[in-house]
Structure 1
Amino acid sequence: MRTSLTVEEALAAVLEHTRPLTDVEDVPLEEALGRVLARDLEALADHPDVDNTAVDGYAARAEDTAGAGPENPVRLRWIGESPAGRPFPGRLGPGEAVSVYTGAPLPEGADAVVAVEDTERDGEFVVLYKPATPKDIRPKAQDLQKGRVYLKRGDWLTPGRVGLAAGMGHRTLPVVRRPRVGVLSTGDEVVEPGTPLPPGGVYNSNAYSVAALVREAGGEPVLLGKASDRVEAVKEQLAAVGSLDLVLTTGGVSMGDYDIVRHLLEREGTIHFWKILQRPGGPPIFAEFAGTPLFGLPGNPVSAMVTFFLYGRPMLFKMLGRTDPPYRRVRAVAEDFFKGAGKKTAFRRAVLRYDPEAPGGHRAASVDSQSSGVLRSMAFGNALVVVPPHTHVEAGEVVEVIPFNFTLQLA
């Protein structure tokens, strides 16, 4: 069993033992937000399908309006209009103009447009105080070309991409099935929110914070309840669930007599590694149990969330085939002292804010408490300051920071 891996070694091991899902399902556009495309998507039609106008105004021939100005207006005969969706039926000839509206097809014979604010109507004539130009004409297929791929397999479907898919003519989209992720809490002291809290008890925040992280990363969380501090209780809980792509447990992974998840995996699982040289979240265990990957997260609330963010989130991204990175790294000026963790990499919670005048464009301030049991730091912090082994970060130094993808709005 490998133990005490570096952060980089642990992530590599996790990804090595993660397999992309191959199941594909079709979903309607209104359900596609946040899903991941399973196949390349091509446009089913040109957009626009004809040359159209970008402004309200008049379509004309450019040569008929050359030299138009306030002191030298040009008069054209008005012969009709071309609203969006109802093209002008005839052909525009010399000395003629047609009313056009934004998105309207350009009338046949016209090659230029003048904005309505640069004109004046005079009965059956239009007076132009500026020349008509082609700059306000959107050429056919300017946006989309029929048959060309614009969205690719692995693309995460944002609101803009859902709209693009609709503009390409697709009513349903092929997406990767969401990974089913079981979330099991352990510990005799753990009780459900909404019930009386006994002496020494703690409310089960881990199940709901981890499940929320799973859902935010694109997975389908399956709450498996709580197992007591007995190896057989954990085994029974896991045996009772259906098919899962990943199991996440919280608690029971350290070195004590009651760390029953580790004891079960040592006895009946295949352990890939135990312990990572990081703080918080040092004692996680990554294994396979009954043919399913199992990631045993620490029991402290912050440790569980940070560990999932750093390793579980990349696992789900790989399962889904997502092409965007699970998290990014930026540079920021530290506004406070951030303590290191000896030979371990420390991930300190921080509030990251944009500052264009700071090196790296950001500043990072520490949250009130760095204790791994203080869940408030994950509720109000929006980033992790990375403190390399054998170092501390002094205020004013430039540091590497990992923003939480689920809090993209920086203060």
Structure 2
Amino acid sequence: MRTNLSVEEALALVLAEAKGELGVEELPLWEAYGRVLAEDLASLVDHPDQDDTAIDGYACREGDTLGASPETPVRLRVIGEAPAGRPFAGRVGEKEAVAVYTGAPIPQGANAVVRVEDTRREGEYVLLFAPASPKDIRPKGDDLRRGEVYLSRGDLLTPGRLGLAAAMGYPRLKVFRRPRVGILSTGDEVVEPGEALPFGGVYNSNAYSLLGLVLEAGGEPVLLGKVPDRPEEVLARLERAGPLDLLLTSGGVSMGAYDVVRRVLEERGEVVFWKVKQQPGGPLLLARLGELPVLGLPGNPVSSMVTFFLYGRPFLFRLQERTDPPYRPLKAKALTPFKGAKGKKVFRRGVLAFEEGLVVRTTGNQSSGVLRSMAFGNALVVLPPDQDAQAGAEVEVIPLTFVL
């Protein structure tokens, strides 16, 4: 078992465990939002499938309209109209025009469009007060070309990408199965919300914070409840967890006599590492129970959430082969001081905002038991070991994607 790892060493070992195959399922478009594509998608069509108009106006021959102005309007005969979905079947000749509406195919013979705002209709004729232009014609395949790949295996299906898949002609999509993630809380002091809270007890907030984090990362949470600090009960619950791709435990991984999760995993599984040189979340543990990867998260609410965000989220992204990174560090100006820690990489909670540039301020109390900082803070301020940050300094920040 390795211990006292750097953040970077720990993350590399966690990602090395994300080697299972999730399998693929096929879903109709309306069920595929938020899932991850399991295949490249090439467009089945050209879009538009012919030259069409980007505006409402009149399609005509550009040469017939040169010199048109409010003082010297050009007069054209209107020979028909072309709403979107009902193309004009004829051909535009000299001094002729067809009324067209956004998305309508350009009629044969026309090579330019004049905006309706620059015209006045007079019976079967139209007066043009500006020349027609080809720039408002969208060429065939301007958006999509048949056979070209626009979405790739591992792409998250956002609203825009779901619409793009539909525009390419796909009614169903192959996506990766959601990773099943077990969530087990431990501790004699832990009780479920709604139950009477005994003296010294705490409500099981970790299970529901982690449930949200797993869902947000594309996983399927499996709530396994909570168990007391007794090794035999912890082991029994783990063995009954069912088929999982990752198991999360919260609590029981530190150095106390009642931190039994680590002891159980050492005896019945294989501990890959224990303890990372970071704050909060130092007692993080990575283990295997048979073929099942286990992330033993600390019991303090902030530590539990931060360690999942830094390690569990990248694990799930790797399993799903996602093409987007699990988080994107940025630079911001600190408006308040942030305190570092000796020999440890620190992740302080902050409020990130744009005020003539990116700025970040502290959420206040940085204790790992103050869950409010994860509810209303929207970023982690990253401090290297042995370094504080004073107000005015440039700092690294990681936006928390799950905070509005």
TM range (shorter): over 0.9
The reply to whether residue 255 of structure 1 matches residue 251 of structure 2 is no
SS at match of 1:378: helix
SS at match of 2:353: strand
SS at match of 1:90: coil
Q: Percent of counterpart pairs with the same letter?
A: 64
Give the AA of the match of 1:194.
G
The reply to whether residue 371 of structure 1 matches residue 367 of structure 2 is yes
Confirm or deny: 8 A CA contact 2:22 2:179 kept in the other structure. Answer: no
Q: Which residue in 2 is equivalent to 1:380?
A: 376
Confirm or deny: 8 A CA contact 2:20 2:245 kept in the other structure. Answer: no
Confirm or deny: 8 A CA contact 2:22 2:178 kept in the other structure. Answer: no
Q: Which residue in 2 is equivalent to 1:132?
A: 132
User: Superposed, which structure 2 residues align to 1:10-49 within 5 Å?
Assistant: 10-19=10-19, 21-49=21-49
Q: 1:97 to 1:210 in 2, by over 3 A?
A: same
2:234, 2:323 → 1: CA distance?
Answer: 35
Bigger shift: residues 316-325 or 387-396: 387-396
SS at match of 2:154: coil
Q: Which residue in 2 is equivalent to 1:206?
A: 206
Confirm or deny: 8 A CA contact 1:20 1:321 kept in the other structure. Answer: no
Q: 1:20 to 1:70 in 2, by over 3 A?
A: farther
**What do residues 168-218 of structure 1 show as CA deviations (whole Å, max 9, x unaligned)?**
111111111110000000001100001111111100000000111011000
Query: How high is the TM-score relative to the length of structure 1?
Result: 0.97
Q: Which residue in 2 is equivalent to 1:330?
A: 330
The reply to whether residue 186 of structure 1 matches residue 186 of structure 2 is yes
Post-superposition shift, 1:21?
Answer: 2.8
SS at match of 1:145: coil
1:153, 1:213 → 2: CA distance?
Answer: 23
1:60, 1:234 → 2: CA distance?
Answer: 78
**What do residues 265-295 of structure 1 show as CA deviations (whole Å, max 9, x unaligned)?**
1111111100000010000110001220000
Post-superposition shift, 1:393?
Answer: 1.2
Post-superposition shift, 1:254?
Answer: 0.6
1:262, 1:163 → 2: CA distance?
Answer: 46
Post-superposition shift, 1:355?
Answer: 2.6
1:306, 1:124 → 2: CA distance?
Answer: 70
SS at match of 1:405: coil
Give the AA of the match of 1:389.
P
Query: How high is the TM-score relative to the length of structure 2?
Result: 0.98
1:121, 1:268 → 2: CA distance?
Answer: 85
SS at match of 1:377: helix
Give the AA of the match of 2:60.
A
Q: Which residue in 2 is equivalent to 1:351?
A: 351
SS at match of 2:402: helix
User: Superposed, which structure 2 residues align to 1:27-176 within 5 Å?
Assistant: 27-176=27-176
Give the AA of the match of 1:175.
V
1:14, 1:202 → 2: CA distance?
Answer: 29
How big is the alpha-carbon RMSD for the aligned residues of Structure 1 and Structure 2? 1.0
Give the AA of the match of 1:378.
M
Count of residue pairs the alignment pairs up: 404
Confirm or deny: 8 A CA contact 2:188 2:228 kept in the other structure. Answer: yes
1:397, 1:95 → 2: CA distance?
Answer: 68
Q: Which residue in 1 is equivalent to 2:341?
A: 341
2:383, 2:239 → 1: CA distance?
Answer: 40
SS at match of 1:141: coil
1:396, 1:86 → 2: CA distance?
Answer: 62
1:163, 1:355 → 2: CA distance?
Answer: 34
SS at match of 1:406: coil
User: Superposed, which structure 2 residues align to 1:288-327 within 5 Å?
Assistant: 288-327=288-327
Confirm or deny: 8 A CA contact 2:60 2:97 kept in the other structure. Answer: yes
Bigger shift: residues 219-228 or 65-74: 65-74
Post-superposition shift, 1:20?
Answer: 5.0
Confirm or deny: 8 A CA contact 1:21 1:321 kept in the other structure. Answer: no
Confirm or deny: 8 A CA contact 1:21 1:176 kept in the other structure. Answer: no
Post-superposition shift, 1:22?
Answer: 4.2
Show structure 1 runs of 4+ deviating over 2 A.
none
Give the AA of the match of 2:300.
N
1:117, 1:127 → 2: CA distance?
Answer: 11
Post-superposition shift, 1:65?
Answer: 1.0
**What do residues 307-362 of structure 1 show as CA deviations (whole Å, max 9, x unaligned)?**
00000000000000001110011111111121111001111101111133xxxx31
1:22, 1:278 → 2: CA distance?
Answer: 31
Q: Which residue in 2 is equivalent to 1:279?
A: 279
**Unaligned stretches of 5+ residues in structure 2:** none
1:291, 1:55 → 2: CA distance?
Answer: 60
Give the AA of the match of 1:147.
G
Bigger shift: residues 233-242 or 303-312: 233-242
Match of 1:399 among 395, 401, 404: 395
2:97, 2:205 → 1: CA distance?
Answer: 69
Give the AA of the match of 1:314.
P
Give the AA of the match of 1:125.
Y
1:226, 1:267 → 2: CA distance?
Answer: 21
